[in-house]
Each structure stands twice: as C-alpha cells, then as structure tokens.
Amino acid sequence: MFRNKYFLVSILVILMSIPLPTFGKILFEETFEKDTIGKEPVNLEFIDCPVNRADASIEVVDDPDGKSGKSAKIFMFALYVPKVNGRDDWTDWYWEWDWRWDSAGNPGNAYRIKDGSNFYHFTPRSDGNTIMFYNYSNGNWGQLAQAEFPIKLNKWYRYQQTMQGDLHTVKIKERDDNTPFDSIKPAIEAKDGTYKKGAVGGLGTDAGSTWVDNIIIYESPKDMLSVDFSGKLSATWGGLKSR
C-alpha cells in the first residue's frame, strides 16, 4: 500500500515538472445566432473611413443557402469592426470567416487599422480570378501582392487570413471543404511592415451585397481547442476542432 502511494506521488511530481504548452486566446468570435433578423449585429460597429459608401448598410439575415442559420448581409462597403476591448492593439493573429457575394464587384476587408485612412486591405477582384493585397495610406492605394484564385459568385468560401510579423497570408477553400487549413497552400502572400497593429473589419464590396458568417480571430491554432462548440458552432467549427 505504501509502495503504491509512493509511486503515485512520484508520477504526480514528474507530471508537474513537465512544462505545459502555452496558449494565446480567442480575440473575437461571432456567428450572429444571438442577433435579431433585420437588425444590425450587436457585436460589430461602424467606424468612419473615406472609402465608406454613403448608402452602405449591414443587417442580420438568414443564410441565403439555408445551411448555417443566421449570417450578416453587408450592402456596399463600409468599415464595421468588432466591438471588443483591445482590438486597436491586435498585432499577430489568425482570422477565419465564411464569405460570399452576389455581384462582380471588388469585395475586401481591412486589417491592422491604424485609423480610417490607414490600413491594410485584402481584396478578391471583379474578374473572379484575381486576389490582391493593398496598403491604403491617406487616400493612396499601394499594391503589395497579386495572385490568381478562382472565386464564383453566390458561393460560400471559407477564408483564413494570418498576420504574423510582416508576413500577410490568405488561404481559401469552399465552405463545405473539411480539409484543414494546415494542409492548404497560401493563395496569396505579401511582406510589409508599414502598420504594426490595429482592428480588423470590412468584408463589404463596391457593388451589390456580401454575406459573412462564422467569424473567429485567434492568436494561435492551439486556441481553437477552447472554442465553444455549441449550437451552430458544432457544425461549423467541427472541422476546425480537428486541425
């Protein structure tokens, strides 16, 4: 009996001496399931920007494909950003979201937003085949990188964008594709360190409407282990949990 107790104590001491892996955190997540149809999402807010369209709007709607509960519909382009503390100090992160649009426009996002006139911009272009990174600086658009990736209208895709130091990366797959992003090659990459930190937002377009859903921003892939997989997340994040 004494020998067994000594053995258990020894095992506990060994386990306690093993360094545990360090985790970052989930910076923001949103599925819009708790929002009201026809209203603006409560966890996103509008910020002023010279490229905002005067008639832009955002509202919660049903998934146009009828597969993922509620989503957010953005008409035209405006900067809507997460309403969460600390967003202006975000530096390195992984950002995933579902995205689709209905017109051959130029949808895009904004990230490391220094202010409404200075940020980075990722954009699939109106030809349905070109994707680009830009640096937007006080009214001037500086192209950082260009690549080809076919994207169809009225079709959901899942995007993973990463910002690590000066390295910008975007990976893309169809929403129903369960292939882990770790196994997918970047669709586009760029290197630029003009902006060091800031919020993320956008996801509208300059013509027609876009839909966005299942947003999550996290500091490390290990953080995905702590995601709440209840409700719609059980289906949407199921593939993420296995990464």
Domain 22-241 carries which CATH code? 2.60.120.560
pLDDT tens figures, 188-213: 999 999 999 999 999 999 999 999 99
pTM: 0.85
Predicted local distance difference test score (pLDDT) of residue 16:
46
Whole-angstrom Cα distance, residue 17 to residue 149?
A: 48
pLDDT score of 231 more than 70: no
- Concatenating the DSSP letter of every residue in the chain gives -HHHHHHHHHHHHHHHHSPPPP---EEEEE-STTSPTTS--TTEEEE--TT--TT-EEEEEE-TTSSSSEEEEEES--EEEE--TTGGG--SEEEEEEEEESSSS--EEEEEEEETTEEEEEEE-TTSSEEEEEEEETTEEEEEEEEE----TT--EEEEEEEETTEEEEEEEETT----GGGS--SEEEE--S----EEEEEE-SSSEEEEEEEEEESSGGGGGGS---TTHHHHSHHHHT-
Average pLDDT of the residues of the chain: 88
pLDDT score of 242 more than 60: no
pLDDT tens figures, 25-68: 999 999 999 999 999 999 999 999 999 999 999 999 999 999 98
Predicted local distance difference test score (pLDDT) of residue 18:
45
* Domain ranges, ordered by start, for the chain: 22-241
Q: How confident is the model at residue 222 (pLDDT cuts 50, 70, 90)?
A: confident
Higher pLDDT, 163 or 3: 163
Whole-angstrom Cα distance, residue 95 to residue 219?
A: 9
**What separation in angstroms does the CA of 87 have from each of 10, 151, 203, 232?**
45, 30, 17, 25
Predicted local distance difference test score (pLDDT) of residue 38:
98
Q: How confident is the model at residue 221 (pLDDT cuts 50, 70, 90)?
A: confident
